[in-house]
Structure 1
C-alpha cells in the first residue's frame, strides 16, 4: 500500500466505525482529513467533528477548511495523549460522555503522538497497538466514527503494518483476542535475583513501606500501594508478591493461582468518570505506567510498574 495516498480504510462492522489512514506528506494528510471532517459536518444530529493531531497539522487543517474551520474542534494531540494507553481509554470515554451526540455519535480524527510517549520505545509502541486493537471492543457500543491517521515518516513501516492489524477494513485486520494474545506471547524479563519477597497478608503496608524505602515520596508510595492492592483484590487471591527497582520505576509482581484470560481486564471504564479506590484493575492501569498480565500453565503473573 502506498504511504502517500491518504487513502483510508472503509467502515468497520458494528456501531463503532474504526478507520485508518496513512500519509507520508502534509498534503496527503490534508487529503485524508478533509473528506472525513466534511462527513462529520454533514452527519445529521452529530456535534461538530474534532481533529486531534500535531499542532502544525491542525494549522494546515484550519487553512484548508477556510470558513468551515469555525465548525470543527481542534485539540493538540499533546493535550490528548498525556499518559499510558490505559489513560487514552479514559480520555476517550470521558470525552464521549461529555461531548458526543446520542449513542456516542461524533467524528474524531486522531493522530498518535509518535514524538511523545507512544513512540518512545518498542514497549510503548506495542502498548499503543494493544489500545488500538482493544478499542474495537471497548467502543463497540458507541456510534462513534474514528479515523486514526498514521504519519509513515515518524511511525515507520513496521508500526504502520501492525496498526493495520488493529483496524477493520485494512485487509490485515486481526480480532483483538488474537492480536493481544500475540503481544502477550513476548516473555517478560525475569525478576532480578535480589527482588524482595513480600507476604501477601502484608501487601498494603508492605508495599507502601518498601516503596518509601526505595525512593518514592509518601504520596506516591501510598498510590502505588493502593494500585497493587486494587489489582490483588480484583484478580486474587494472590499467592506471592515480589518487589524490585527504585523510584520512580518501582515494580511489584503478583502471582495468582488462576489465569485472567479476559483481554479487557482493567480497560473497561467504570460507570463514574471519577478515579477512586474500589475500581480494581482499572484504578491500577490508570495510575501506573505499566501493568502486564501473563497467563501461564500454573496461573497468572501480574507485573505492576509505577513509572
Structure 2
C-alpha cells in the first residue's frame, strides 16, 4: 500500500467518498487506510462498512488486513443519528491517540434505518453537518462513504454540502437550520392536551396505555422530563401509538444553540442543561422549532 501524507494535527478532517463501483470504493478506501497506518501517534485505522465491502478490503489489504479494525456497519450503527454521535465520541475517548488521532472509514447503513425515509435521511445529514462542529477540537480523520448504489443521488448531493472536501460545503449551522425549516406534520386534532409541565407519571401512564412496554414507557417519560428542563413549559401535547408515541412541549423561550443535545457529556453523569442529550439518545427524533412569540416547541418521538 502507498501511504499519503497525513493531515496536520489539531483539526477534524472530515472527508467524503461517493463510489459507484467496488473498484471506486477500494480506490478511495485503500489510500485512506494506508494513511492511517503510516500516521504517527495513532492506533490502527478502523473501517466501518457493509460486510461485502469489508471482504473487499480483506482481500485487497492482504497481510495488512490484520492491522486494520474491520467492523460491520450494522454493529456500529444500531440506532439513531444521535446514537451514532455517542458511539463515535465513546470510541474516540477509549481508543484514539493523543488529541483524538485516529482514521475512521465510516459507512452508515443506507439500505437500512439511515435511508428508510426522507425524514430519517435528513437526521443523518444534520448529524454529518454538525459533526464538523462537534469534533472540531479533535485530530480525527474521517472518510464517510456514500455508495451511490445504496445511498441514492439525492442523499449524496445533500451529504456533499456537509463535507469540507467536496467543493460545495456549506456552513453547518446554516445547513442544519435549512433542515429544521422543513415543517413537521401537525399534531392530530385528538391529541391529549396538558397544561404546564407534564408530570412523569402522567406521561408514563399515557405511553403505557398507548402500547409501550413498561421499560420503554419509563424511558419516554424520562426523556420528556429531561427535555422539559430546558425552560418554563407552558403546555404539552401527547399523541400516537406505540412505538411512535409523541410528546410536544411548548417552551416560553427559544433555545438558540444549534448543538443543543448533541454535545456528549464529559463524564458518566449528566450536568445541568444536558438533559436534551439524554432525550436525543432515547428518542428516534427530537425536533426544536420556533413556536412564535419568542417561544419554542420541542417534539419528541419515541420511535
Alignment-derived partner of residue 7 in structure 1: none
1:24 aligns with 2:28: no
Matched, 1:271 2:272: no
C-alpha displacement of 1:276: 10
How far, CA to CA, are the matches of 1:264 and 1:283 in structure 2?
14
- Greater CA deviation, 204-213 or 96-105? 204-213
Measure the CA separation in 2 of the matches of 1:252 and 1:51. 37
- 1:52–1:75 CA contact under 8 A, matched in 2: yes
Say if 1:295 and 1:301, in contact at 8 Å, map to a contact too: yes
How far does residue 141 in structure 1 lie from its aligned partner after superposition?
0.7
RMSD over aligned Cα atoms: 1.9
* Aligned position for 1:224: 220
Aligned length: 297
Task: Please give the per-residue CA displacement for 1:64-119, whole angstroms capped at 9, x wherever unaligned.
Answer: 01111111000000001110000000000000011100000000011111111001
Residues 176-215 of structure 1 mapped to structure 2, 5 A cutoff: 176-215=172-211
Q: 1:37 to 1:134 in 2, by over 3 A?
A: same
Inter-partner Cα distance in structure 2 for 1:18 and 1:277: 31
TM (norm. structure 2) is 0.94
Contact 1:11–1:18 (CA<8 Å) still a contact in 2? no
Using the alignment, how far apart are the partners of 1:12 and 1:142 within structure 2?
A: 11
Q: Offset of 1:208 from its aligned partner?
A: 1.1
> Is residue 10–residue 99 contact of structure 2 (8 Å, CA) maintained in 1?
no
Q: Residues 241-296 of structure 1: CA distance to partner in whole angstroms, max 9, x if unpaired?
A: 00001111110000011111111110000012468998400000001111011124
Report the CA distance shift for 1:259/1:201 in structure 2 as closer, same or farther (over 3 A).
closer
Tell me the distance in 2 between the aligned counterparts of 1:202 and 1:256. Answer: 12
The counterpart of 1:295, out of the listed 255, 269, 290, is 290
